[in-house]
Structure 1
């Protein structure tokens, strides 16, 4: 009993670093890397010869740049999270004479809107070789529940940002085959906060981690076996992220500090960002109409559990483990591009974005479920050298239910259940210019 109770702070704060980091393509992995690609729901994204922003999924597509090209994109993500039927009970310190706490209190919308930028630069070296640089945010999340809501011991505030800088090279083998590769440097930081049950009043814990630099790579091939038919395959590698940080406690009673070890401590976490395989086809149906198809496989099964290590020299808190049970998933999309006029191109698309989450093991930090996209977009030619791209995504999710019984890994957080309804509206605007 005592060993489990000592985990009150540790496991509470470690609700899901990797969930927050979004080991879920249907969750907070950032797919909005290009206003052009978003217009067709990413359909054809590893095969398209439209502009250099598609190089995120396939570095071989940098070879399409015949002039020095700069693409700047900004995506505004406006999510909405509705909760109902929330209830929670926590009696984890009752064995020490502490209180039993129960609540049905709801929270205001915990989701937070964000602007996610991406930048691409391509420089042709000669007729066959192009080098490129890109800056992206592959993963991001920002959520903030009310501090007094029913699930406060499971989650209050979560923030994460993973920034990736890529150096790429693409080579035109012949008239119908391009190949490419990139090296990526990643820098990730995260903050996890939660209330911590205490004797007289709740304390609070904040866990902050960051890494120096982690590295990944990508490769790709793009082919046009016949005019109007384009095929592309891109692969982004796993990235091992080794993070260090500190857990800070506030408003904790002396009793909690003595019996539970809720004192400030150094912490570490070793996480793995998954691989991404993208298969795409673009087919020109007429001179003005193009069909795009994409299937993307994200290798979330590389992460089955989360381990948070606490420095034994500074705290008696035991290390914590959170089981995730993720599985590999596929994303499917289809889209159409229509050349309305010489200056205006229109796009639309539909996508099914499957979640890797175990429906019996969802977290309040990321109650993921399968999603669907409906998209619109277009390109307007401002001049011969400059284009403006725009897109809109309406994202809906299947209903999700978080149901924690307060045993095992949740012994310190207590029981919690709630029904979630998640949706989002995503707007993107980009400028592409050549020099």
Structure 2
């Protein structure tokens, strides 16, 4: 790894430390704002785009869009809202939890910034090398330690930072190919209440923190069979992580003594999780010299994530949470309009299907299908510098969590019951600078 790429990775890690964005933006916990350009049209046509190098996240062949050394820096500010109502819960001893009430307001999800960086350097007339930094997956939720569902979750955090090294080559006037190798650094935080409310000083907090480095790759091709018609296909591989970390318990001395009597003690933890693959297929069609139609279908292989099965290096039983995710598709359509020589406008809509099933929806994954409406634009200051903006409103289907698996040996036997209704939405503002040298 070069000195410059090490610096970029460290800088990205600092920026991405706040980028475990709420799942209110993208289905599951995928983050799809890696480009203000693409966000302005709801990712329509993104894997076939000839606009700039930021589309290389979905298709590494699109680094060929760089004709000179180019830097693209993008940031998305995600403003989620989540209201939880009609909450009914019991603790692991089947004691009903009466307080603090029947609702949780939107403070349980925080505004956050999701950064992206791209650098492209032409090596020849036909070959381009690229480096990019992205946050492909992120999730953040903090209900607080006093809400009624605290035995299922108080805080959840996932962040995945990816550093990619790419090569793209224009094989002919109508075919370009590309590939990348990726280094991923992922962190997981899982916190919840443990013990019971049935007796005084018998409830504490357990907090798991773990991380690992994983590796992946991407492949892509873009073809233009006829002038003005572009088709792109990109694939990002699964990434395997063997997380290692620890669990720590906090509470009063009496509560810690009670937890210790139940073998709940500080210990090292391990778990193996596979983050999903992403397949992107796009079409761009020039309708006129100024108007472009874009279509995209993105398949995320969520089925690879069977759930969490945390092994404790002590006498504690494994902590299991089945995800039951299903592979899902996102579909989008959009238009790009060259309003003038300096201003380009975009709009798009998308349907983003959730991988979460009703049976396994939990307080950590209160996910529903989404609809996007996006607008955006780019202003060219000159031939070398441009600024891009986008705004996306995300509408999320109302969902309910209903977990009643309380039989001995079932995965919720140490959590109790929970039923609750969720209403969520999000607004996302994205800005970017594109600079050529």
TM-score (norm 2): 0.90
In the TM superposition, residue 322 of structure 1 has moved relative to its aligned partner by: 2.0
CA distance in 2, matches of 1:21, 1:310: 28
CA distance in 1, matches of 2:22, 2:315: 27
Q: 1:160-199 CA distances to partner (integer Å, 9 max, x unpaired)?
A: 2110000000011000100000000000012111122344
Q: Which residue number corresponds to residue 151 of structure 1?
A: 149
SS in structure 2 of the partner of residue 301 of structure 1? helix
CA distance in 1, matches of 2:232, 2:244: 38
CA distance in 1, matches of 2:302, 2:22: 12
Partner of residue 130 from structure 1, selected from 128, 131, 152: 128
SS in structure 1 of the partner of residue 27 of structure 2? coil
Q: Which residue number corresponds to residue 43 of structure 2?
A: 42
In the TM superposition, residue 257 of structure 1 has moved relative to its aligned partner by: 3.1
Confirm or deny: 8 A CA contact 1:21 1:139 kept in the other structure: no
Q: Which residue number corresponds to residue 338 of structure 1?
A: 337
Q: Which residue number corresponds to residue 370 of structure 1?
A: 369
Confirm or deny: 8 A CA contact 2:28 2:356 kept in the other structure: no
SS in structure 1 of the partner of residue 363 of structure 2? coil
Unaligned runs of 5+ in 1: 1-18
Partner of residue 106 from structure 1, selected from 68, 88, 103: 103
Q: Which residue number corresponds to residue 398 of structure 1?
A: 397
Confirm or deny: 8 A CA contact 2:235 2:277 kept in the other structure: yes
Unaligned runs of 5+ in 2: 1-19
In the TM superposition, residue 141 of structure 1 has moved relative to its aligned partner by: 1.8
In the TM superposition, residue 303 of structure 1 has moved relative to its aligned partner by: 2.0
Confirm or deny: 8 A CA contact 2:396 2:423 kept in the other structure: yes
Match runs of 1:27-426 below 5 Å? 27-90=28-91, 92-93=92-93, 101-103=97-99, 104-109=101-106, 110-198=108-196, 199-201=199-201, 202-211=203-212, 213-251=213-251, 253=255, 255-311=257-313, 315-407=314-406, 408-426=410-428
The one of the two structures with greater contact order (alpha-carbon pairs below 8 A, sep at least 6) is 1
Confirm or deny: 8 A CA contact 1:20 1:158 kept in the other structure: no
The two structures, once aligned, show a CA RMSD in angstroms of 1.8
In the TM superposition, residue 260 of structure 1 has moved relative to its aligned partner by: 1.1
CA distance in 2, matches of 1:173, 1:390: 32
Confirm or deny: 8 A CA contact 2:27 2:369 kept in the other structure: yes
Confirm or deny: 8 A CA contact 2:348 2:373 kept in the other structure: yes
Could you say if the C-alpha distance between residues 254 and 432 of structure 1 is closer, same or farther in structure 2, counting changes exceeding 3 Å?
Answer: closer
CA distance in 1, matches of 2:158, 2:305: 18
Could you say if the C-alpha distance between residues 254 and 160 of structure 1 is closer, same or farther in structure 2, counting changes exceeding 3 Å?
Answer: closer
TM-score (norm 1): 0.90
How many residue pairs are counted as aligned between the two chains? 407
CA distance in 2, matches of 1:241, 1:254: 31
In the TM superposition, residue 308 of structure 1 has moved relative to its aligned partner by: 0.8
CA distance in 1, matches of 2:339, 2:207: 53
SS in structure 1 of the partner of residue 259 of structure 2? helix
Question: Which 10-residue stretch deviates more, 266-275 or 197-206?
Answer: 197-206
SS in structure 2 of the partner of residue 116 of structure 1? strand
Q: Which residue number corresponds to residue 13 of structure 1?
A: none
CA distance in 1, matches of 2:256, 2:33: 47
Confirm or deny: 8 A CA contact 1:59 1:219 kept in the other structure: yes
